[in-house]
């Protein structure tokens, strides 16, 4: 079995992110940045403004804190304690668990179960929860594991969370988007004029670039995952979240077949919907609505559901408005009309562009 892990971020680090420091007299263009590994991915934060050091430190600390709460592999995390005991009183070291579980439950309901954090035992059976190596489960094994999958059965009463017998949760499909929401709050509090956060496929483009232009965010070409810098196109974004899900981000191959990490809860198998990548873009105002969390949940969801249903959701959605970049197996890049001005197809990518209105 061959282990392949693309650390290429689906949304590549913002292009043109140079480590230019402004003069002390010009704090709006003075930058500090940091790169680190957290939540199983490479992260880059680049922050500008008078309080850039404080904001950067708070942002990194926030991500480490979330990882400590939400990791499935760290035995003492809130998620591990919940999965182990089947119940947890969300107190200290679990402050973010309830808002995340509540959001996950809502997206599970709203997506008819295509997004479901209780798919965890199935994700683990395939070996995507870390540790034990990859494995193609038998149909019988999947059938029995799927009996436990029901995100609407997670009970929250007061501050106590209770899972159904045999259930466990995996917040990997939503946690980085939530982390991006928390970073937006920090930047708001620190009056950060501009910042770029790239959290493994979850980008927060805060403000604009020091030269006054929008941030340039590359949408990775899923056909060339090992080749960072191979973009299907570029998004020009200001004050926005952009979150990408794609099977190329994590997968293994066995007997010439590729198996990736986004599971269709209806079948227990890696989703096969005709899409190779989904990017959800939304504005980053609306602190209460957790728009980054929404983008993360929906990008995973639409990768499972496919083009037609993703576009149905886009046109019927009554929550925070969002736009889409869908890349299809048959070589099309489908964008929704809100991105018509901000998305540029890479001419050499070989994809054809369609705009949906």
- Interface with ligand AMP includes 172 (CB under 6 A)? yes
- Interface with ligand AMP includes 128 (CB under 6 A)? yes
Can you tell me the distance from the alpha carbon of 316 to that of 348, in angstroms, rounded to the nearest whole number?
34
- Interface with Mg ion includes 300 (CB under 5 A)? yes
Show contacts with ligand AMP in window 191-220 (CB under 6 A).
201
Q: Report the C-alpha dihedral over residues 312, 317, 321, 324, rounded to 10 degrees.
A: -20
Judged by beta carbon distances under 5 to 8 A according to partner kind, the member of ligand AMP, Mg ion, none in contact with residue 163 is: none
Q: Is 148 helix (H, G, I), strand (E, B) or coil?
A: coil
Residue 83 tokens read as 């999965």
Task: Give the pairing type, strands 31-38 and 41-48.
Answer: antiparallel
- Interface with Mg ion includes 170 (CB under 5 A)? no
Residue 14 tokens read as 């913002």
Instruction: Show the site string, 12-41: x = touches ligand AMP by CB under 6 A, - = not.
Output: ------------------------------
Contact 242, 339 (CB under 8 A): no
Least spacing, CB of residue 157 vs ligand AMP, in Å: 23
- Interface with ligand AMP includes 245 (CB under 6 A)? yes
In the list 69, 71, 115, 192, the residue contacting ligand AMP (rule: CB under 6 A) is 115
- Interface with ligand AMP includes 299 (CB under 6 A)? yes
- Interface with ligand AMP includes 170 (CB under 6 A)? yes
- Interface with ligand AMP includes 304 (CB under 6 A)? yes
Give φ, ψ of 2 to 5 degrees. -105, 130
Contact 301, 114 (CB under 8 A): yes
In the list 116, 181, 307, 323, the residue contacting ligand AMP (rule: CB under 6 A) is 116
Can you tell me the distance from the alpha carbon of 214 to that of 195, in angstroms, rounded to the nearest whole number?
11
Least spacing, CB of residue 280 vs Mg ion, in Å: 9
In the list 300, 328, 336, 349, the residue contacting ligand AMP (rule: CB under 6 A) is 300
| Sheet with 332-336, side-by-side order of all strands | 31-38, 41-48, 195-199, 202-206, 240-245, 275-283, 323-328, 332-336, 352-356
Q: Is 302 helix (H, G, I), strand (E, B) or coil?
A: helix
Q: Under the rule (CB under 6 A), what is the footprint of ligand AMP?
A: 115-117, 119, 123, 128, 170, 172-173, 201, 245, 249, 261-263, 265, 296, 299-300, 304
């Amino acid at each position: 079995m061959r282990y392949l892990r693309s650390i290429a971020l689906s949304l590549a680090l913002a292009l043109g992110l140079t480590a230019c420091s402004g003069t002390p007299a010009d704090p709006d263009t003075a930058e500090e940045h940091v790169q680190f590994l957290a939540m199983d991915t490479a992260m880059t934060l680049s922050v500008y403004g008078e309080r850039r050091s404080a904001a950067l430190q708070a942002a990194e600390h926030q991500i480490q804190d979330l990882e400590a709460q939400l990791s499935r592999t760290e035995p003492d995390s809130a998620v591990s304690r919940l999965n182990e005991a089947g119940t947890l009183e969300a107190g200290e070291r679990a402050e973010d668990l309830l808002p995340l579980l509540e959001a996950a439950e809502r997206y599970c309901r709203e997506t008819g179960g295509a997004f479901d954090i209780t798919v965890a035992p199935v994700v683990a059976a395939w070996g995507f929860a870390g540790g034990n190596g990859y494995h193609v489960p038998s149909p019988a094994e999947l059938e029995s594991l799927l009996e436990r999958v029901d995100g609407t059965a997670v009970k929250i009463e007061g501050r106590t969370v209770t899972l159904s017998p045999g259930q466990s949760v995996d917040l990997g499909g939503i946690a980085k988007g939530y982390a991006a929401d928390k970073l937006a709050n920090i930047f708001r509090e620190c009056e950060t004029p501009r910042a770029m956060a790239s959290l493994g496929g979850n980008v927060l483009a805060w403000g604009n670039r020091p030269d006054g232009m929008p941030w340039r965010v590359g949408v990775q070409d899923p056909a060339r995952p090992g080749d960072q810098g191979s973009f299907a196109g570029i998004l020009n974004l200001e004050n926005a979240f952009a979150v990408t899900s794609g099977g190329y981000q994590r997968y293994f191959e066995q007997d010439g077949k590729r198996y990736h990490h986004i599971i269709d809860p209806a079948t227990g198998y890696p989703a096969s919907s005709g899409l190779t990548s989904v990017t959800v873009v939304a504005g980053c105002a609306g602190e209460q609505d957790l728009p980054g969390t929404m983008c993360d949940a929906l990008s995973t969801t639409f990768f499972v559901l496919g083009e037609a249903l993703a576009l149905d959701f886009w046109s019927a959605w009554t929550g925070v408005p969002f736009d889409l970049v869908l890349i299809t197996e048959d070589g099309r890049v489908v964008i929704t009309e809100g991105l018509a001005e901000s998305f540029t197809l890479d001419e050499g990518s070989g994809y054809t562009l369609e705009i949906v209105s």
